[in-house]
A and B are shown apart, each in its own frame.
Chain A
């Protein structure tokens, strides 16, 4: 195993070794070895309570691991958890937008938290607005928007500061299929520019779109491979069955 020390030439967006998290007697994540090359879209699959959320929170530097190493976007998140936040973008199922602010105000607010100011901020937000097609409703309150629009605004808030890694926690929940398809096209447009993506999802067609899948159950990494190889490993023909298998396992063992 190579030493996962921070380096700007680090070929990995995420690199963890024996990452472990215990909550008292409960082991939420045990010995996770995960590598995500830069520019890759990795899907994180697992039933509820499998350790997905705990893993993401550790990668964001929000939760200190009990033991193990993790380097995210070249930053050692075990030793300098605060330094990683400037380099990642995060978007959750709830979108984290302020309903009583307009699209423009949400974008301005979040980009300001990442240190964008003045002319640079305006120029960058114009880019984001054009890229995501948000121009038409800039001064509309976010609370009045449909799921698809809210999702795009949330994505805009997460990428305005040029993150190296996007962490998407069920980003398409409650969004119609057409908007989901568009969303994935945008995600791949971002990876073309070297941005890496870690995404959790419950939709199997989305899991199929990922370049590789990490399958975790009860805090253990069961598979880390392409969707096709994962299906082969579980001896099933579609990912739906992988998921059902995982749910049953966690149900039996719970």
Chain B
């Protein structure tokens, strides 16, 4: 018989021996007593949410802007007003020449400049294409993206206003940004924080808790009792699901209150589909615990695991823009699929059948990671 078949035929004998209650009760007693850890587990989500939520603002508004209006006419002042009214530019100063424009940008005092040449109004009046410039400091592409689109939009609106006096544009394409029409980054980031936070805390506390039992000699004591190793682990890990759900709830409530993050889909499906993701994270934590000897090593390895998760899962950077190798790496991280689920449920409020695929993939990850971790755990305990 293959090993798998042997295992399957032994399963009926195994299941009654899954006696996880003593272990579960013990863990809950310890958790209740360890107030510091418990406070950290619930306080860290709040702090991280506020840090990430406020710090990661990818839409940059209010760029300090200098204006060089060489035309100095009613028309040129109308254009400047139009650009400033987008809210992306704040008037810093009027300057007298191109040298001053360059000086302002290079010194960093200004991040954008509006330059209107002397012939602007004259060209407009003669029906020629009038030209004006918006110069943006695009050294940081993320910071300048909003400015660039704001300027283009202002120009188009101004052009249409002038044209509208005479005739309509030959065609009109309206871009409608669905789901997050204001392009607010907190709407995008906050659901992601749930996922990042869960992987970080669950992987770390699992790895550290198991290593602590090994360091203290209690794991050695546990394995000589009749309780099966599977029961030891299930009883040990189950309480961490509770911590995970508390964290999800803390971030959701704060995200709603502080950042006005929408909850458009079903909360039930969010809580249900969080389960396989948490299980997968616990599996990773258990696996890491078998690779290290000390709690300090567990922490290091935990952070090492978090790096690709933060960079490649689509938490901060869109996966669609990544080269294929980075996309492929991201595709083997459970967080990638969980983030997709979170945004689909919270931001897009998609129909439940669109969630099935991600849910199944996460369940697969959970089964795989836990199976691998349990196998290694069994081997290393001997």
Contact = CB atoms under 8 A, between A and B. Distances in A.
Given A100-B30, A101-B30, A92 B221 contact: yes
B19 to A, nearest CB: 8
Contacts of B74: none
A94 B217 contact: yes
A112 B221 contact: no
A99 B382 contact: no
Contacts of A63: 382
Interface stretch (A80-88, A186-194, A241-249): A80-88
Contacts of B216: 94, 96, 98-99
A94 B224 CA distance: 14
Most chain B CB within 10 A, of A82, A95, A96, A113, is at A113
Contacts of A82: 226, 228
Interface in B206-225: 216-218, 220-225
A115 B223 contact: no
B26 A62 contact: no
Interface string B18-43: 00011101100110011000000000
Interface string A141-171: 0000000000000000100000000010000
B226 A98 contact: no
Contacts of A207: none
A215 interface: no
Nearest to A82: B226
Contacts of B217: 92-96
B227 interface: yes
B34 to A, nearest CB: 6
A166 to B, nearest CB: 11
Interface string B370-382: 0000000000011
B11 to A, nearest CB: 15
A109 B221 contact: no
Nearest to A83: B226
Contacts, number: 66
Given A99-B216, A100-B34, A114 B225 contact: yes
Interface residues of A, number: 28
A96 B26 contact: no
B35 to A, nearest CB: 11
Interface in A63-85: 63, 82, 85
Contacts of A95: 217
B224 A90 contact: yes
B30 A62 contact: no
B151 to A, nearest CB: 61
A105 interface: yes
A90 B221 CA distance: 7
Interface in A82-141: 82, 85-86, 88, 90, 92-101, 105, 109-110, 112-115
A239 interface: no
A88 B29 contact: no
Contacts of B227: 113
Interface string B347-372: 00000000000000000000000000
Nearest to B223: A62
20 contacts: A62-B382, A63-B382, A82-B226, A85-B225, A85-B226, A92-B220, A92-B221, A93-B217, A94-B217, A94-B221, A96-B216, A96-B222, A97-B218, A98-B216, A100-B33, A101-B26, A109-B25, A109-B26, A110-B221, A113-B222
Interface of B: 21-23, 25-26, 29-30, 33-34, 216-218, 220-228, 381-382
Interface of A: 57, 60, 62-63, 82, 85-86, 88, 90, 92-101, 105, 109-110, 112-115, 157, 167
Given A96-B216, A96-B221, A100-B34, 8 more contacts: A85-B224, A85-B225, A98-B216, A101-B29, A109-B26, A110-B225, A113-B226, A157-B221
Name the 10 nearest CB pairs between A and B, nearest first.
Answer: A96-B221, A94-B217, A112-B22, A90-B224, A113-B225, A85-B226, A113-B227, A109-B26, A96-B217, A86-B226
